Amino acid sequence: MAQIFHPSANTLARLSLIGAALIALGAVGVSYMVIQSPYQTDVHVVKAQPVPFSHEHHVNGLGIDCRYCHSSVEDSSFAGMPPTYTCMSCHSQIWTDSPMLAPVRESLALGKPIEWTRIHDVPDYAYFNHSVHLKKGVGCFSCHGRVDMMPLAWKEESMNMGWCLECHRNPQRHLRPRDEVFNLDWSVEANQDEVRAFVQREADAETYAFLTEDDYVSQEELGQLLAAMYEVPTMGHDTPLTNCAVCHR
Amino acid sequence: MALETNDRGRGAPAPEPVLGPGHDYTTVTDKIGSMVLTRGFRKEWLIGFALAFGLVNLFLVSVTWLLFNGTGVWGLQVPVMWGFAIINFVWWIGIGHAGTLISAILLLLRQEWRTSINRFAEAMTLFAVACAGMYPILHLGRPWVFYWLMPYPNTMGLWPQFRSPLVFDVFAVSTYATVSLLFWYIGLIPDLATMRDRAKNRIAKVLYGIGSMGWRGSARHWSRYQMAYLLLAGLSTPLVVSVHSIVSFDFSVGIVPGWHTTIFPPYFVAGAVFAGFAMVLTLAIPMRHLYKLHDFITDKHLDNMAKVMLTTGLIVAYGYLMEDFIAWYGENEYEHFMMLENRPFGPYRWFYWGLILCNVIAPQFLWFRPFRRNVYLLWIISMFVNVGMWLERFVIIVVSLSRDFVPAAWEHYTATFWDWSLYLGTIGVFLSLMFLFIRILPAISITEMKELVHEQHHHAGRQGDGQGHGDHGESHS
């Protein structure tokens, strides 16, 4: 009886076993990398805007406060996008003929808002609220990075649920005094003197002595103090920040 | 072949043979192989397959409609959020259990009569598990993210809730499907080699050849094959008990009256075997008739299966009785209402009494030999059980959920067209796969049937040695 298969079929069969395992592992690995990559998350991806607005120039160069444009950030879930009038409060006086600003003038003339390209789009079933984060001492920097160094805005963090939970599980790692939430340049290391002054002012003498024992107040130590001061429900609380209903209703 | 002289010397009645007389290795291979390796289709097969395939199309339409519109097309509404999908899931997964019981436990117990029915009972298990597995996934609402059920490091930073039986279920069912598939396939390998050697068609030769993985029938092959088969039998054995126990946790861990009882795991397992044997009979009787397999699937086989069905049916009936007894004895007002008022006299009372008729009364006829030996009556009784087990799940799920604690929250549940069409559709998927299986693969294990022939010859040669059942077993290995 003639053989159905060539002897090489044995090798092929063995190779296909290894191959199948490798393909399966590879498929899992590749999809894992894709979902973490900027291709999926848009992190550090600069998007074209109708007007090439530079945060770097306006914030770092001119020193305009975040709230000048994002005016509802302290009172609302939505930080707020500025109406064209806000732009025009300066640009009716300066750069009035700049071709770059033509869409702004057109918007004002037609009474039609500028359609910015959205950078951060949180799903509708996640009820993110800007105001509560600021009130509890989470600074703009923690989620948006150094906006004052972005010529065109990009997304600094993935905004994945896992990333949210990282902070919701350990909020003390990201808390700062309320006065510093809009300060993009603030850190415990760089502002150690002010941090120590803050602790001395806000905490009782015993706590102050304890936290400054090693002559350094770490983010963890400051965060614990702030969490207690601002009533941030850390892990172990009855309804910690990881409770589903904190973000999903 | 002097089978009829066995045991005569002791004056004991000869054990009824599990293989018709006059068979040797060649006739066994010819008979089983011819079911597959004949050109053309039988008229009965074509008609049956066409009907089943029609239902497959209904299935595809139902799933498309469901994905398009969401689970609102079903009759689900608060408080009955587990309707047909979960009823059918439990029904199908239960049916699968007979295959595993036959192939694993009866193998380890060295019950020879399992030989001719194990292959297609295992196929039935696989197809039933496939049908079962579709329901919870379709029930998810967003089936395309079904992989969220598995624990893997994900971007949401979450694990599944490991304390939930619904998560146990994912593992139980996927393990069950994997082990059943491996067991079935390992058993097929020598038979696929036989098919490869006997096939005339080049494509068939190559396909069977790939499937048989280079089987040459050497002593080393056989030794490893038997070891693997035995190990998988050992692995499958706990699954017979564990899978449906875990399915029962889906209910008994919940506090809904009618669900929250400790008797659920054993009574679910018994119910699963009960339902499974009913389905094996439902399929085996027509197949035996169609392919003239009376020598392989003898009346003794049907008789034995009927006895297993009767036994497990009695366990199930005991379960119903205990539920009612504990409801009365325990004096929990909600449970009392559910078991003793709502089920027998509530709006769904006919489902309950239908269940009692199908699952408790109908199997009692199996006490009598004429009912176990008459294929028509046996088939009708097994159909009663198939329906009864479906009704059981309906009563547990819908009747309990529709009227739980607060009367203000009660709501009547009615299935919609799409509930029924999906159910009929999965029956179509199941039957189509069964028809294809019978046509493409040897539906009875040729290898194991030859072993049986060997043993019978061997025993016939040693007549008068005292051939008890245990003796049969010892020579099996």
Instruction: Say how many Å lie between the first and final Cα of chain A, rounded.
Output: 71
What confidence tens digit (pLDDT) does each residue in B122-151 have? 999 999 999 999 999 999 989 999 998 899
Pairwise CB contact (< 8 Å): B157 & A164: yes
CA distance A4 to chain B (A): 7
Determine, yes or no, domain membership for A230. Answer: yes
Q: What is the mean pLDDT of chain B?
A: 88
Greater model confidence, A13 or B22: A13
ipTM of this model? 0.76
Res. B388 pLDDT band, cuts 50 70 90: very high
- pLDDT at position B448 is 86
- pLDDT at position B377 is 94
Determine, yes or no, domain membership for A50. Answer: no
Q: Is A33 on the interface with B (CB under 8 A)?
A: no
- pLDDT at position B462 is 53
Buried/exposed code over B292-308 (b: 16+ C-beta within 10 A; e: otherwise): ebebbbbebbbbbbbeb
CA distance A144 to chain B (A): 19
- Give the chain A residue nearest B208 (alpha carbons): A4
- pLDDT at position B11 is 53
Pairwise CB contact (< 8 Å): B214 & A160: no
Determine, yes or no, domain membership for A25. Answer: no
**The pLDDT of residue B116 is above 90:** no
Res. B471 pLDDT band, cuts 50 70 90: very low
Pairwise CB contact (< 8 Å): B157 & A10: no
CA distance B440 to chain A (A): 19
Determine, yes or no, domain membership for A205. Answer: yes
What confidence tens digit (pLDDT) does each residue in B332-362 have? 999 999 999 999 999 999 999 999 999 999 9
**What H or E segment, with its residue span, contains residue B99?**
helix B84-100
- In a mutagenesis test of the A interface, which of B147, B152, B155 is the best target, namely the one with the most A β-carbons within 10 Å? B155
Determine, yes or no, domain membership for A42. Answer: no
CA distance A160 to chain B (A): 6
Determine, yes or no, domain membership for A241. Answer: yes
Which chain A positions have a beta carbon within 8 Å of B215's beta carbon?
A: none
User: Are the C-beta atoms of B224 and B214 separated by less than 8 Å?
Assistant: no
Q: In the predicted model, what is the mean pLDDT of residues B210-236?
A: 91
- pLDDT at position B201 is 87
Binding-site residues on chain B for chain A (CB distance < 8 A): 154-158, 196-197, 205-206, 209, 213-214
Q: Is the dihedral of CA B275, B277, B281, B283 positive or negative?
A: positive
| Residues of A (206-245) whose Cβ lies below 8 Å from B | none
List chain A pLDDT tens, one digit each, 249 residues.
Answer: 578 888 888 899 899 999 999 999 999 999 989 988 999 899 999 999 999 999 999 999 999 999 999 999 999 999 999 999 999 999 999 998 899 999 999 999 999 999 999 999 999 999 999 999 999 999 999 999 999 999 999 999 999 999 999 999 999 999 999 999 999 999 999 999 999 999 999 988 888 888 888 889 999 999 999 999 999 988 777 778 988 999 998
| Residues of A (131-160) whose Cβ lies below 8 Å from B | 158, 160
Determine, yes or no, domain membership for A243. Answer: yes
Q: Which domain holds residue A164?
A: 121-247
**Ranges of each domain in chain B:** 37-148+239-444
pTM: 0.86
Determine, yes or no, domain membership for A103. Answer: no
- Give the chain B residue nearest A4 (alpha carbons): B206
Res. B62 pLDDT band, cuts 50 70 90: very high
- pLDDT at position A58 is 95
Which chain A positions have a beta carbon within 8 Å of B151's beta carbon?
A: none
- Give the span between the Cα atoms of B448 and B190, in whole angstroms: 10
Tokens of B377: 């009556």
Pairwise CB contact (< 8 Å): A35 & B209: no
User: Lowest-pLDDT range, A7-11, B106-110, B189-193, B378-382?
Assistant: B106-110
Q: Is A22 on the interface with B (CB under 8 A)?
A: no
